[in-house]
Amino acid sequence: MLSESFPFAEPENGRWNCMKQIAKDNEELDRRFDEGEDIHDLINISEAKITRPGKKVHISLDIGEELLREIDRIRAVIGVDRSALIKVWLHERVQEEAQRNTN
């Protein structure tokens, strides 16, 4: 039977049900996306929040050479530019601190 070979269920009315199984958590959704699965129909865009970072400001940061080399090694492995990596790390840390302070 064809339905045994494909991840579809055949309802009683004879029409194919191509609904994807909903991800159990964010980690599963991330994994499925990383594996190349089309996840557009798993996302409810109507409930999405758009966050705008606001006006960008320029900062200067003095750090040690060894720390800079370590950052550059990491960014080379994951293929992003140095400032993007540092911005992501700063954002993640600020979110952690904000969450810690609300508990």
Q: What is the band of 19 on the pLDDT scale with cuts at 50, 70, 90? A: low
Q: How far apart are CA 44 and CA 26, in angstroms?
A: 14
Domains of the chain: 1-49 (no CATH), 51-103 (1.10.1220)
Which pair of tokens denotes residue 24?
């159990």
Q: Which of 28-32, 51-55, 81-85, 99-103 has the highest mean pLDDT?
A: 81-85
Closest CA to 58 of 89, 29, 87: 87
> What pTM does this model have?
0.49
Q: What is the band of 8 on the pLDDT scale with cuts at 50, 70, 90? A: very low
